[in-house]
Amino acid sequence: MEAALAALPRATPSALAPYYSQHLRWHSCGAPGFQCATIRAPLDYAAPGAGDVRLAVARKKATGKGRPLGSLLVNPGGPGGSAIGYLQQYAGVGYPAAVRARYDMVAVDPRGVARSEPVECLDGRRMDAYTQTDLTPDTRKEEDALVAADKRFAESCGAHSARLLRHVSTVEAARDMDIVRAALGDRKLNYVGASYGTFLGATYAGLFPERAGRLVLDGAMDPALDARRLNLDQTAGFETAFQAFAKDCVRHSDCPLGGRRTTPAQVGDHLKAFFRRLDAHPVPAGDKDGRRLGESLATMGVIAAMYDESTWQELREALTSAMRENDGARLLALADSYYERDASGSYSNLMMANAAVNCLDLPPAFTGPEQVEKALPAFEKASPVFGAGLAWASLNCTYWPVRATGEPHRIEARGAEPIVVVGTTRDPATPYRWARSLAGQLVSARLLTYAGDGHTAYGRGSACIDTAINTYLLHGTPPAAGKRCS
């Protein structure tokens, strides 16, 4: 059995005292009501005097008259998603009014992400080439091209972000959050994390169980799994979501993948056949930079739509345009949203930070193409539609310039207050089994289940889920053990 994450000493080491005694200097930023500040953290917690990393923090003060409950930190996941962007675009205005009335809504971009000394790798033009790399190689030449692309990406990150790459782990980001907590003047950390944000929040609870307040971990990850198992489970998760999409698609007259009598397996076969056509003959996409829709970008466009069932109609229309009208623009737009590429051809650092954190947190899933080839049957069994591409995509950490510092481990957080772990039964990116596993590891966890589709559950339309989480955040009362919503 994997070792459990060990809690840090309760007393703050003297070498870290200057970081814990910081005062945040707030200034107006972004939309009205938002404030921003910066805070320092040690680049290397083992050598606090060896340099700092500057972290961006944002908040929106509580808006109501009730008793203030302190700060509520939010993180949208990734890794690599901007928590500040999430706060300004959604959480600070879209979270339930009762929560925003009582909490100062706060976000910190983790080290290496967005506004917090972002990891930098490829420029926009080279990212365009990277995202079009063939992820289902049919020949040794195509296989070599895929390996070369992963090597170029890794070498570029090493060349442009050498100082940071050894210090963007989840453990370090969790320790940074404790410095932010102290600067905010909160005795305990209250937190809502989604997707990878659940791993970050659980890690915080494991390191500082006595300082963990009301924690909601929505769309939970399982820290006890190795990289290959995580990727394989996620592959199965996308297949589960696709099966739900397929059943929904054939109920609509505009479904380009089949009619009412078409089975989900046949829908998958039709989509795979379309991908194969694109592999040989990409279609125009109306892109000013000359990109065409090939198999890799089309696959990512479909995967992007699996995260939220409200996007399924958009996906049907995008597939119809590409398959029947030879116009890949809509499907390309979905892929661009996944990669956070804007109309100017610039990318956020999402995918760069994502690789940097993941490749530091766990040893690579595969040591080379030979292992991928041996694993292909398992991945294709997990998902006949996406398995091969996601198996080959798992090579991304194989050539990373920095060795992993993390290993699979359990997180127990003994001594923490009740922690709410949320799992969605047909979640594509964080399979429900991960939520069950994390809830089984955390000593004080309560598992809250949403029987439905999409990635994460809070704030996505279930009054049952939202009421349970709001009650916990506002009153400290966790949902009953085994509570299930639909």
Q: What's the pLDDT score for residue 89?
A: 94
User: Any residues with CB less than 8 A from the CB of 26 and at least 6 apart, and which?
Assistant: 35, 36, 37, 59
**Contact at 8 Å (CB) between 429 and 234?**
yes
Active site residue 233: no
User: C-alpha angle 353/359/361, rounded to 5°?
Assistant: 100
Closest CA to 385 of 249, 239, 244: 239
- pTM of this structure: 0.97
* Neighbouring-strand partners of residue 121: none
What's the whole-number mean pLDDT along residues 222-226? 98
Span 275-303, average pLDDT = 97
Q: Is 116 part of the annotated catalytic residue set?
A: no
Residue among 218, 265, 220 nearest 239 (CA): 265
Average pLDDT over residues 177-203: 98
pLDDT at position 35: 98
User: pLDDT exceeding 70 applies to what percent of the chain?
Assistant: 100
Residues 59/30, Cβ–Cβ less than 8 Å:
no
Residue-wise pLDDT for 422-461, tens only, equals 999 999 999 999 999 999 999 999 999 999 999 999 999 9
Question: What pLDDT sits at residue 392?
Answer: 98
- pLDDT tens readout for residues 60-83: 999 888 889 999 999 999 999 999
With residue 212 as reference, give the H or E element that holds it.
strand 212-218
pLDDT for 2: 80
Residue-level pLDDT at 98: 95
Mean pLDDT score of the chain: 97
Catalytic residue among 336, 427, 453, 466: 427
Specify the DSSP element, H or E, that contains 229. Answer: helix 227-249
**The pLDDT value given to residue 324:** 96
Mean pLDDT confidence for 250-258: 96
421-455 as b/e: b if 16+ CB within 10 A: bbbbbbbbbbbbbbbbbbbebbbbbbbbbbebbbb
Give residue limits of the domains in the chain.
14-118+165-223+408-485, 124-140+226-339+365-397
Residues 236-240 have a mean pLDDT of 97
What pLDDT shows up at residue 49? 85
Query: Which of 355, 289, 277 is closest to 112 using CA atoms?
Result: 355
Per-residue confidence (pLDDT) for residue 37, from 0 to 100:
98
According to the model, what pLDDT value does residue 260 have? 92
Spell out the alpha helix ranges (H) of 119-226. Answer: 124-131, 140-160, 162-165, 170-184, 196-207
Q: How far apart are CA 205 and CA 105, in angstroms?
A: 19
Neighbours of 253 (CB within 10 A): 7
Task: Give the pLDDT mean for 72-98.
Answer: 96
pLDDT at 467 exceeding the cut of 90: yes
pLDDT at 30 over 90: no
- 107 beta partners: 58
Q: Which listed CATH number (3.40.50.1820, 3.40.50.720, 3.40.30.10, 3.40.50.2000) goes with 14-118+165-223+408-485? A: 3.40.50.1820
Q: Assign 304 a pLDDT band (cuts: 50, 70, 90).
A: very high
**pLDDT score for 94:** 93
- Give the pLDDT mean for 455-481: 97
Q: Where are the alpha helices (H) located in 250-366, listed in sequence order?
A: 264-280, 295-306, 312-324, 329-339, 350-361
CA 409 to chain centre: 19
Q: Does 281 qualify as catalytic in the annotation? A: no
- DSSP code at position 4: B
Residue 481 in this model has a pLDDT that exceeds 80: yes
User: Region 91-115: what's the mean pLDDT?
Assistant: 96
Assess whether pLDDT exceeds 90 at residue 297.
Answer: yes
What is the model's pLDDT at position 170? 98
pLDDT tens digits for 130-152?
999 999 999 999 999 999 999 99
| pLDDT beyond 90 at 265 | yes
pLDDT confidence of residue 342: 97
pLDDT at 1 over 80: no
Q: Is the pLDDT score of 325 beyond 80?
A: yes
SS3 72: strand
Instruction: Give the separation between CA 466 and CA 484, rounded to whole angstroms.
Output: 12
Please report, as a single letter, which amino acid is at residue 322.
A
- The residues near 363 (Cβ < 8 Å, ≥ 6 apart) are 226, 227, 397, 404, 407
Out of 71, 116, 161, 195, the active site residue is: 195
pLDDT at residue number 31: 83
> Is 407's pLDDT higher than 80?
yes
User: Residues 331, 318: contact at Cβ < 8 Å?
Assistant: yes
pLDDT reading at 295 higher than 80: yes
